[in-house]
Amino acid sequence: MTATKNKVTIRDVARLAGVSYGTVSRYLNGNEHVSERAAQRIAQAIEESQYTPNNAARSLAQQRTSTIAFIVQVESIFTLLQASTTAAMAEANQILGDAGYQMVTLIANSDDSTHRIAQLVHSDFADGYLLFSLSEDDSLAKIFRTAHRPVVLSEASDRSTDVSYPAVDFANADGQRDITRFLLDRGKTRLAYVCGPGYSPSSSKRLQGFKQAMGSRYDDNRVYYADDWEITSGEMAAAAFEPILHDLDGIVCANDNIAIGVINQLHRMGYRVPEDIAVTGFDDSPIATMMDPKLTTVRQDSWMHGRAMSQLLLSMLRGETVGPHTVTLLPTEIVTRQSA
Partner DNA sequence: CTGTTAGCGCATTCAA
Partner DNA sequence: TTGAATGCGCTAACAG
In the complex, least distance from residue 45 CB atom to DNA, rounded to whole angstroms:
12
Q: Assess 269 for contact with a copy of itself (CB under 8 A).
A: no
Other CB atoms within a 10 A radius of the CB of residue 4 amount to: 8
**Chosen from a copy of itself, DNA, none, partner binding at 124 (C-beta under 5 to 8 Å by type):** a copy of itself
Instruction: Tell me the per-residue interface mask from 58 to 77 with DNA, x by CB under 7 A, - otherwise.
Output: x-xxxx--------------
* CA nearest to 300, candidates 205, 198, 166: 205
CA angle 183, 184, 185 (to 5 degrees): 90
Is 26 near DNA (CB under 7 A)? yes
23 binds, among a copy of itself, DNA, none (CB under 5 to 8 A by kind): DNA
What's the rounded Cα separation, in Å, for the pair 292 and 217? 30
Give dist(CA 223, CA 189) in Å, integer: 14
Helices vs. strands in the chain: H and E counts, helices first: 12, 12
* 305-334: contacts with a copy of itself (CB under 8 A): none
Answer for the pair 97, 35: CB distance below 8 angstroms, yes or no. Answer: no
CB environment 46-60: b (16+ within 10 A), e (fewer): beebebeeeeeebbe
- DSSP 8-state class, residue 262: H
- Does position 148 bind DNA by CB under 7 A? no
* 10, 118, 156, 258: which one binds DNA (CB under 7 A): 10
Stretch that binds a copy of itself, among 188-196, 233-241, 243-251, 284-292 (CB under 8 A): 284-292
Could you list the residues that contact a copy of itself (CB under 8 A)?
A: 3, 5, 7, 50, 52-57, 59-60, 65, 77, 80-81, 83, 85-87, 89-90, 93-94, 97-98, 102-107, 109-110, 112-113, 116, 119-120, 122-125, 146, 148, 231, 260, 264, 267, 286-287, 290-292
